[in-house]
Amino acid sequence: METGIGVFSSRDRAEEAVRALRQSGVPEESIIFLTRSETEAKAVAKEFGASIGGFMGGAAGMTAGVIAGTLLLPGIGTVFALGFGAAALLGAAGAGAGTAMASAATRSETEPTAWDKSAEDTAFFREILKEGRSLIVVRTESQADAAAACAILDQLGMGMEGRHVPGRMQTSTRQVGDTLVLTVSGRITLGEGNVMLREIVGELVDKGHKRVVLNLADVNYIDSSGLGELVKAHTTVRNKGGELKLASVNKRVHDLLHLTRLSAVFDIHSDEASAIGGTTQAVA
């Protein structure tokens, strides 16, 4: 499963991104849209060809591929969720399509449902939403759909061009005390670095490594899929009872993490030594 993440501070950009995703052929069921703004949710819903009267007390108007509902996040308040994939976040992940749609519609007619704490990556989504940004997540098994989605999310969500930045991803590992240092260089992008990073992190946790430091000093480009893979890496290590830290992040990557507000979630250190030692020299 490939994951692309786009973070938006502009309603117009979010609407444009959903429109572009649909026009490029990315299936509606692969798209999840989250926002704290009811106005923004209504506007984006139109790009799905749907109304979201369900938010207001009636689910009429939603098309077969669209689910609308509300989530209640502690410390944040009501979050509006749109897209077939939102069913998982509404706690209907294991249901069939018809049941999931009915479940989402029922919830949206009543009170916001509590955030499903078992859902992957919720800590990251929570922090992004807390900062007043909206979020588009594309999850798909199709490489073609993932590539189309990443190109759109890179440009509209993060304002990035640079898919052809040179430098294929390379990695090396070494043990420092009880910490495994994974040094990454090149680029973390769809079909290249993201798969390699996923496999390496998976192998590390399977071998019992609980403390992992990613040294990103020589990473020159991360696309929306690579960003999603960093989120997955953090979640993979955390789910095994471990911790993952980022170290020596260069300015370009740091600016990306700050732009997407993921800098508030990742444990980022100015250098490898502080990450290994657990000192307080974290990067804001």
Q: Are residues 148 and 8 both part of a single domain?
A: yes
Last residue of a domain, one of 157, 192, 220: 157
Q: Are residues 50 and 145 both part of a single domain?
A: yes
In a domain, 282, yes or no: no
User: What residue numbers bound the domain in which 257 lies?
Assistant: 170-277
Q: Are residues 175 and 266 both part of a single domain?
A: yes
Q: Are residues 23 and 129 both part of a single domain?
A: yes
Number of separate domains in the chain: 2
Output the pTM of the full model: 0.71
In a domain, 165, yes or no: no
User: pLDDT by residue for the chain (284 residues), tens digit each?
Assistant: 788 888 888 888 888 998 899 899 998 888 888 888 888 888 888 777 654 444 444 333 444 445 567 777 777 788 888 876 665 654 443 323 332 333 333 344 334 444 444 454 566 677 778 878 888 888 888 989 988 998 888 888 765 554 555 567 899 999 999 999 999 998 888 876 788 899 999 999 999 999 999 999 999 888 888 888 898 898 889 888 999 999 999 888 888 888 887 887 889 999 999 999 864 444 54
Q: Are residues 153 and 58 both part of a single domain?
A: yes
Beta strands 211-222; 243-247: pairing state: parallel
